[in-house]
């Protein structure tokens, strides 16, 4: 019945009474040990963060920002930021999936752990979703990427946090090439994206896929003899009875039982005169719908064209679980407009931020792992490498964290790529000092690295950096 025409009432008969839905609260919720009240979660500790590096705030527009720290206190801190609270138009998150594994980057280093299980995982994500919701504008959308480990549980949590009525799609994505599975089950090549809007009035720029010859021939299989145009045949009746003209006789025929004509008999005559009715050998009429390429094929909820890392020429950062950039561009284009603010609170290598930047949006990215932060810095300062280069080890030039913050890279990056601010949360400051060689003077914890570097580097580099800074800020 899934593809049939549905109704909320059983039509007529004595049985209709037995089939009436029972009244009362019919909502379904997930209960588990340790589920905190929403008020407690929202009132929890806020992060203190330090700006290490980056351009100054541009008046009127939220500057791109990368935060290194646990996202929950950072998100709570952003509740107090007038540039962010209620301003985020699009959220995409690709959190750990509860796979009980530790992921390594292409250079074989541990990048992040995905070890939370069951209720611990559910509550971990629920806490963040509740705060994220507060940061979102009323016309914002959120996409949550998961796999089959926890998608069902999190769908219920999303219904609770955002309202079941704001659920839009459960998108199935083909994530990889066909697997030669050795286990006694079907090869697993799908993961899932839950798409919710914050309200009924949300940004939506309908995405279209281009037509191709195979698809046109499949969907419009017939050729019109007179015009040579491709067409498909569709019924000229629809379910439900009518008392007016569309329920009456046309060319000596009544609509089939329980149905009505889709057009009045006069309009059906007109269509026939224009050659837009096909008559079968048995005299059954069907309407000809001619192929019109329009903008393309409206995109559906099964995505086959956004596999991750499928060929050696694809450019990647080398971060594990790095997502397909075109998929993120598709989401950003569909659910935000130019100049809007996009948030990814589990940003990994920064694919969402790259997509946002490519499409003229501002971004905020948060991640708690140094490997992720380094991937983002590298992506925007130095660029990504072809996947094949990781195999042949051409990409073996391993930058040390402090090299990624070097003013020379900063200077280079500002000419070609995306300027942004880099903040470190209090709990990571020790690591930042050791690995990024960041100096935070006790007297001025808010001093930026560029301030500090200006004092330290040779005059030529200092001059170049200042020139670049001036260019960006002006």
Ligand X SMILES: C[S@@+](CC[C@H](N)C(=O)[O-])C[C@H]1O[C@@H](n2cnc3c(N)ncnc32)[C@H](O)[C@@H]1O
Least distance to ligand X from the beta carbon of 428, Å? Answer: 11
**Pick 277 or 372: Cβ nearer ligand X:** 372
Contact residues for ligand X, defined by CB under 6 A: 70-71, 94-96, 112, 319, 321-323, 346, 348-349, 351, 366-369, 372
Q: How far is the CB of 353 from ligand X (least distance, A)?
A: 9
Cβ distance to ligand X smaller for residue 79 or 245: 79
Of 56 and 70, which has the nearer Cβ to ligand X? Answer: 70
C-beta closer to ligand X: residue 223 or 315: 315
Q: Which of 52, 48, 51 is nearest to 404 (CA)?
A: 52
In whole angstroms, the minimum distance from the beta carbon of 198 to ligand X comes to 21
Measured from the CB atom, the residue of 367 and 406 that comes closer to ligand X is: 367
CB of 128 to ligand X, least distance (A): 7
Q: How far is the CB of 208 from ligand X (least distance, A)?
A: 24
Closest CB to ligand X among residues 55, 194: 194
Between 195 and 231, name the residue whose CB sits nearer to ligand X: 195
> 380 near 417, Cβ under 8 Å?
yes
Q: Checking phi first, is residue 265 left (phi over 0); if not, alpha (psi -120 to 50) or beta?
A: alpha
The alpha carbon of 187 is separated from its chain's Cα centroid by a whole number of angstroms, namely 24
Task: Tell me whether residue 91 or residue 453 sits nearer to ligand X (CB atom).
Answer: 91
Q: Which is nearer to ligand X, 246 or 375 (CB)?
A: 375
Q: Which residues pair with 277 in a beta bridge?
A: 287
Minimum CB–partner distance for residue 95 and ligand X (Å): 6
Q: Which is nearer to ligand X, 231 or 420 (CB)?
A: 420
Q: How near is the Cβ of 314 to ligand X at its closest, in Å?
A: 13
Residue showing the smallest CB distance to ligand X in the complex: 348
For residue 136, what are its two tokens? 């979102």
Least spacing, CB of residue 278 vs ligand X, in Å: 49
The minimum distance between CB 124 and ligand X, in angstroms, equals 7
- Going by their DSSP bridges, the two strands 315-316 and 362-367 should be labelled as unpaired
* Shortest separation between residue 212's beta carbon and ligand X, angstroms: 28
């Amino acid at each position: 019945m899934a593809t049939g025409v549905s109704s909320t009432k059983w039509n007529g008969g004595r049985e209709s009474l037995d089939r009436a839905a029972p009244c009362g609260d019919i909502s379904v919720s997930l209960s588990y040990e340790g589920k905190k009240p929403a008020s407690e979660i929202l009132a929890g500790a806020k992060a203190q963060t330090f700006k290490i590096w980056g351009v100054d705030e541009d008046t009127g527009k939220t500057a791109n920002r990368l935060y290194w720290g646990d996202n929950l206190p950072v998100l709570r801190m952003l509740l107090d930021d007038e540039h962010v609270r209620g301003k985020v138009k699009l959220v995409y998150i690709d959190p750990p999936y509860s796979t009980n594994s530790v992921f390594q980057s292409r250079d074989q280093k541990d990048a992040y752990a995905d070890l939370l299980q069951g209720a611990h995982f559910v509550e971990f994500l629920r806490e963040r979703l509740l705060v994220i919701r507060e940061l979102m504008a009323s016309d914002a959308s959120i996409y949550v990427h998961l796999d089959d480990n926890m998608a069902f549980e999190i769908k219920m949590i999303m219904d609770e946090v955002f309202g079941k009525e704001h659920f839009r799609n459960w998108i199935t994505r083909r994530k990889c090439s066909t697997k030669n599975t050795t286990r006694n089950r079907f090869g697993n090549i799908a993961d899932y994206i839950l798409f919710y809007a914050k309200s009924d009035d949300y940004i939506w720029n309908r995405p279209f896929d281009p037509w191709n010859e195979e698809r046109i021939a499949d969907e419009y299989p017939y050729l019109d003899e007179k015009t040579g145009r491709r067409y498909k045949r569709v019924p000229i009746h629809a379910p439900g009875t009518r008392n007016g003209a569309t329920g009456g006789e046309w060319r000596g025929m009544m609509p089939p039982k329980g149905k009505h004509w889709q057009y009045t008999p006069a309009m059906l005559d007109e269509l026939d005169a224009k050659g837009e009715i096909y008559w079968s050998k048995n005299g059954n009429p069907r309407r000809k719908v001619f192929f019109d390429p329009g903008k393309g094929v409206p995109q559906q909820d099964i995505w086959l064209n956004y596999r991750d890392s499928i060929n050696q020429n694809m450019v990647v950062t080398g971060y594990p679980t790095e997502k397909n950039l075109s998929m993120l561009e598709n989401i950003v284009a569909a659910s935000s407009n130019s100049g809007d603010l996009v948030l990814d609170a589990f940003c990994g290598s920064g694919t969402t931020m790259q997509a946002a930047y490519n499409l003229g949006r501002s971004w905020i990215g948060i991640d708690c792992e140094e490997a992720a932060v380094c991937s983002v810095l590298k992506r925007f300062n130095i660029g990504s490498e072809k996947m094949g280069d990781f195999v042949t080890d051409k990409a073996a030039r391993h930058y040390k964290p402090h090299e990624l913050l070097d003013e020379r890279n900063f200077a280079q990056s500002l000419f070609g790529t995306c300027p942004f601010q880099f903040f470190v949360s209090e709990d990571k400051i020790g690591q930042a000092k050791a690995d990024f060689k960041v100096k935070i003077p006790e007297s001025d914890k808010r001093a930026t690295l560029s301030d500090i570097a200006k004092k330290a580097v040779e005059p030529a580099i200092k001059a170049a950096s200042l020139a670049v800074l001036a260019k960006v800020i002006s």
